[in-house]
């Protein structure tokens, strides 16, 4: 947006003042970036959801072109965080069966790192998130519609209302579809309008796969084999227009309930696990809901999802549409907002688009148990969460004025606290040791992931953000157990080094820059800073609670070594300090920058980190391997160090893992078309750059260039520590 240059200067000044004094027009902000598709696109499915349940659709508003999407882009999934399946375990595999010994500091300890063994494979794959079903259009003979038969495609995701409107012609006949999700239940609502319904030409098919093809770790296709290994039993409900299908495979059972308004269709079985909604003769409107509810699951006590809420009775599409619209209006109005109207930098509109869409994508896929890296758009790592990603997944909600989501995530950590205590005890540690690759029960999965350390401090960091948002006794009491037991384990993970008396980190450990020999890795720059900051924060929590400081923690804090410096720059770690001498060490995550970026940098020398940042920008091997969350992470470090132009440049750099599709997703490689850590880190970085941090320079938007090229308006952001 630009102002007319012919206005007299005084009037121009008054107009500018009036515009910027007004609140951000949030409906207009969202309307600018609501995705509109006008062609079949296998790479850009749109989604509706409520945080724990997502329905992903193609341009028909349903999941009609599943084969095309699976073959050429993103599969079309219906996924919920409550639905987990485990294959039988006749061998009774346990983590001990996949463990190997490691020796460090004169002490032997077993870790479950043998992922290639039968035990390791079973424990990694189970439990796994389960696909709930596929809903799409078919013709009168039961054949799915073909993309080539569609014309005049126009599909819009209305971000303000959280609903998708689709319009297209099929064989010359117009079809209009409305798709949305109940904000409080695992329920899809659909309305179809077309004269093609009236004569039975157009129908809705429902199909249930056996699961996913477990041979594929990331973005697996559906498994349509083994029809006799799972059940789909149709039965009529006790009222017109109602049916339910009981689904069962091994220890997972769930119900699929259909409600058709005005009994305008019949649900009929076609063949095993396949059904059709056949419209009544003459009906040109088909409105129905499909609700999923878990009956039994191997998830155990650890899902920690908010309970399903909302109407207990069947609700019409119109009723759910009104409920959903109110939910989303409240969501967008309650949190923070940022816009870049008036900026001269041509990249401003694209950054604004990414920010808006990332807020939506995170909102529909993150609630309760932390999500897998692909959220609920598609499966990856068997649906399991990587707890080192939890900060990128949810910390931004706090910065954007929505701390309730962080409460839900911390509640999941609380729910699996007994498992974390058990893991700590098995490794000779105190407190609670958080595992990296986990399902809903918090049980660790075998692999090198068992040696990752940088996931451990995240509950302390998230709890501290909650304290900063709500500095009350209630906050302290709610999360003090998580903070103190996490810190107790962190203290016990440190080893006293003979001869020096230092308290050191590792080995064995797999540092955040995942390149190094885990048996040799010791004292990485980022993890050292994490321990220094998080143990210090935990001591503050003790003092806030009226408790004395823990002497053992203080002893370890005093004995932590300083990060290693070579030629005036920080290196990845002390034990393998070749970062700036060996080109092979300069790819993957430049994690040392997080020490003064994501973290405020205790124990870090600012000038040394500044030189390290500049060396990274100039010498890092970006083309080899760098992930979507690295770009915002580096921008955060650049912002803290006063390199504002560099922060914007790296945040928006055109690179293979930093490109955002029409639907807002940021694909990584060929097998990860969705990568929520990129969206979450983008939101954290923009919140910091626009809203500031402790000790930030005075003035608005301290992370953006102050040369007039950027006009940044922000409302409701919380600063980062």
pLDDT at residue 311 is higher than 80: no
pLDDT at 66: 95
Provide mean pLDDT across the span 344-361. Answer: 98
Q: 655-692 pLDDT, tens per residue? A: 989 999 999 999 998 789 999 999 999 999 999 999 99
Q: 389-416 pLDDT, tens per residue? A: 999 999 999 999 999 999 999 999 999 9
pLDDT at residue 183 is higher than 80: yes
> Peptide bond preceding 507: is omega within 30 degrees of 0, i.e. cis?
yes
pLDDT at 13: 34
Q: Where in the chain is the domain with CATH 1.50.10.10?
A: 349-696
pLDDT at 4: 33
pLDDT at 671: 84
Q: 17-74 pLDDT, tens per residue? A: 333 458 999 999 999 999 999 999 898 899 999 999 999 999 999 999 999 999 998 8
pLDDT at 124: 95
Closest residue by Cα to residue 84 from 390, 303, 232:
303
pLDDT at residue 420 is higher than 60: yes
pLDDT at residue 300 is higher than 70: no
pLDDT at 670: 78
Cβ within 8 Å of residue 369, ≥6 positions away: 81, 302, 303, 304, 305, 385, 409, 412, 440
pLDDT at residue 8 is higher than 80: no
Q: 92-103 pLDDT, tens per residue? A: 999 999 999 998
Residue 624 — very low, low, confident or very high, per pLDDT cuts 50/70/90? confident
Residue 623 — very low, low, confident or very high, per pLDDT cuts 50/70/90? confident
pLDDT at 104: 78
Its CATH architecture, for the domain 47-86+131-298, is Distorted Sandwich (2.70)
Provide mean pLDDT across the span 247-251. Answer: 96
Q: Alpha-carbon distance 393 to 241, whole Å? A: 40
Residue 238 — very low, low, confident or very high, per pLDDT cuts 50/70/90? confident
Q: 421-463 pLDDT, tens per residue? A: 999 999 999 999 999 999 988 999 999 989 999 999 999 999 9
Q: Alpha-carbon distance 554 to 566, whole Å? A: 28
pLDDT at 44: 87
Cβ within 8 Å of residue 64, ≥6 positions away: 58, 136, 137, 138, 144, 145
**Residue 701 Rama label (left phi>0; alpha psi -120 to 50; beta):** left
Residue 296 — very low, low, confident or very high, per pLDDT cuts 50/70/90? confident
Provide mean pLDDT across the span 334-349. Answer: 97
Residue 309 — very low, low, confident or very high, per pLDDT cuts 50/70/90? low
Q: Where in the chain is the domain with CATH 2.70.98.40?
A: 47-86+131-298
- The per-residue pLDDT of the chain, averaged, comes to 93
Q: 534-549 pLDDT, tens per residue? A: 999 999 999 999 999 9
pLDDT at 305: 53
8-state DSSP, 218: B
End-to-end CA distance of the chain: 33
At CB < 8 A and 24+ separation, what contacts does 318-326 make?
320/180, 320/182, 320/187, 320/189, 320/289, 321/161, 321/163, 321/178, 321/180, 321/189, 323/182, 323/183, 323/184, 324/161, 324/162, 324/163, 324/180, 324/181, 324/182, 324/183, 324/189, 325/161, 325/162, 325/163
pLDDT at 431: 98
Element at 543 (helix H, strand E) = helix 525-544
pLDDT at 441: 87
pLDDT at residue 2 is higher than 90: no
pLDDT at 582: 96
pLDDT at residue 318 is higher than 90: yes
Please state, in angstroms and as integers, the Cα–Cα distance from residue 658 to each residue in 45, 362, 625, following that order: 19, 17, 12
Its CATH architecture, for the domain 349-696, is Alpha/alpha barrel (1.50)
Q: Alpha-carbon distance 603 to 594, whole Å? A: 13
DSSP tally for the chain: helices H, then strands E: 17, 30
pLDDT at 368: 80
Residue 12 — very low, low, confident or very high, per pLDDT cuts 50/70/90? very low
Other beta carbons within 10 Å of 137: 23
pLDDT at 6: 34
pLDDT at residue 308 is higher than 90: no
Q: Alpha-carbon distance 205 to 201, whole Å? A: 13
Q: 453-486 pLDDT, tens per residue? A: 999 999 999 999 999 999 999 999 999 999 999 9
């Amino acid at each position: 947006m630009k102002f007319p240059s012919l206005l007299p200067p005084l009037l121009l000044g008054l107009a500018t003042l009036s515009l910027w004094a007004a609140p951000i027009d949030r409906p207009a902000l969202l309307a600018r970036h609501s995705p509109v598709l006008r062609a079949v696109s296998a790479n850009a499915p749109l989604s509706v959801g409520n945080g724990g349940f997502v329905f992903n659709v193609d341009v028909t508003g349903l999941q009609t072109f599943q084969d095309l999407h699976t073959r050429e882009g993103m599969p079309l999934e219906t996924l919920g965080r409550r639905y987990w399946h485990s294959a039988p375990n006749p061998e009774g595999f346990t983590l001990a069966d996949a463990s190997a010994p490691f020796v460090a500091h004169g002490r032997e300890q077993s870790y479950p790192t043998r992922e290639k063994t039968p035990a390791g494979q079973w424990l990694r794959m189970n439990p796994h998130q389960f696909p709930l079903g596929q809903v799409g259009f078919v013709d009168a003979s039961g054949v799915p519609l073909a993309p080539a038969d569609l014309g005049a495609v126009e599909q819009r995701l209305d971000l303000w209302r959280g609903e998708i409107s689709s319009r297209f012609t099929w064989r010359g006949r117009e079809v209009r579809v409305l798709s949305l999700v109940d904000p409080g239940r695992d329920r899809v609502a659909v309305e179809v309008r077309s004269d093609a319904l009236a004569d039975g030409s157009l129908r809705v098919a429902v199909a249930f796969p056996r699961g996913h093809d477990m041979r594929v770790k990331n973005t697996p296709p559906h498994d349509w084999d083994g029809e006799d290994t799972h059940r789909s039993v149709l039965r009529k409900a006790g009222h017109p227009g109602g049916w339910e299908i009981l689904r069962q495979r091994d220890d997972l059972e769930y119900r699929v309930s259909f409600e058709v308004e005005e009994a305008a269709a019949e649900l009929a079985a076609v063949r095993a696990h396949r059904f059709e909604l056949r419209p009544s003769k003459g009906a040109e409107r088909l409105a129905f809901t499909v609700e999923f509810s878990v009956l039994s699951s191997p998830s155990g006590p650890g899902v920690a999802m908010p309970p399903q809420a909302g109407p207990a009775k069947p609700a019409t599409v119109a009723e759910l549409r009104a409920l959903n619209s109110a939910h989303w209006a409240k969501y967008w109005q309650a949190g923070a907002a940022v816009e870049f109207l008036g900026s001269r930098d041509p990249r401003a509109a694209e950054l604004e688009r990414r920010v808006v869409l990332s807020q939506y994508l995170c909102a529909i896929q993150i609630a309760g148990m932390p999500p897998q890296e692909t959220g609920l758009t598609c499966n990856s790592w068997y649906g399991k969460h990587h707890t080192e990603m939890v900060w990128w997944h949810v910390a931004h909600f706090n910065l954007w004025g929505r701390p309730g989501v962080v409460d839900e995530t911390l509640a999941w950590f609380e729910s699996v606290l007994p498992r974390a205590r058990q893991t700590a005890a098995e490794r000779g540690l105190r407190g609670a040791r958080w595992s990296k690759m986990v399902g809903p029960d918090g049980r660790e999965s075998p692999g090198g992931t068992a040696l990752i350390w940088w996931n451990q401090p995240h509950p302390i960091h998230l709890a501290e953000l909650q304290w900063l948002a709500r500095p009350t006794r209630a906050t302290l009491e709610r999360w003090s157990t998580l903070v103190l037991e996490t810190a107790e384990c962190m203290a016990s993970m440190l080893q006293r080094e003979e001869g020096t008396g230092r308290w050191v980190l590792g080995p064995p450990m797999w540092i955040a820059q995942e390149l190094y020999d885990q048996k040799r890795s010791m004292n990485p720059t980022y993890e050292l800073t994490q321990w220094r900051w998080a143990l210090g924060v935990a001591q503050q929590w003790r003092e806030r609670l009226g408790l004395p400081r823990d002497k053992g923690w203080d002893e370890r804090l005093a004995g932590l070594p300083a990060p290693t410096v070579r030629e005036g720059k920080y290196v990845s770690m002390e034990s393998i300090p070749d970062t700036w001498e060996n080109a092979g060490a300069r790819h993957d995550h430049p994690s040392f920058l997080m020490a003064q970026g994501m973290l405020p940098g205790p124990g870090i020398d600012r000038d040394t980190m500044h030189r390290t940042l500049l060396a990274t920008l100039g010498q890092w091997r970006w083309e080899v391997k760098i992930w979507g969350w690295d770009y915002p992470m580096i921008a955060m470090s650049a912002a803290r160090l006063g390199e504002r132009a560099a922060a914007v440049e790296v945040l928006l750099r055109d690179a293979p893992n930093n490109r955002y599709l029409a639907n807002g997703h940021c694909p990584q490689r060929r097998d990860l078309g969705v990568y929520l850590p990129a969206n979450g880190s983008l939101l954290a970085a923009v919140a910091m750059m626009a809203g500031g941090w402790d000790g930030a320079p005075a003035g608005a938007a301290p992370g953006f260039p102050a040369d007039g090229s950027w006009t940044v308006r922000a409302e409701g952001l919380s600063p980062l520590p």
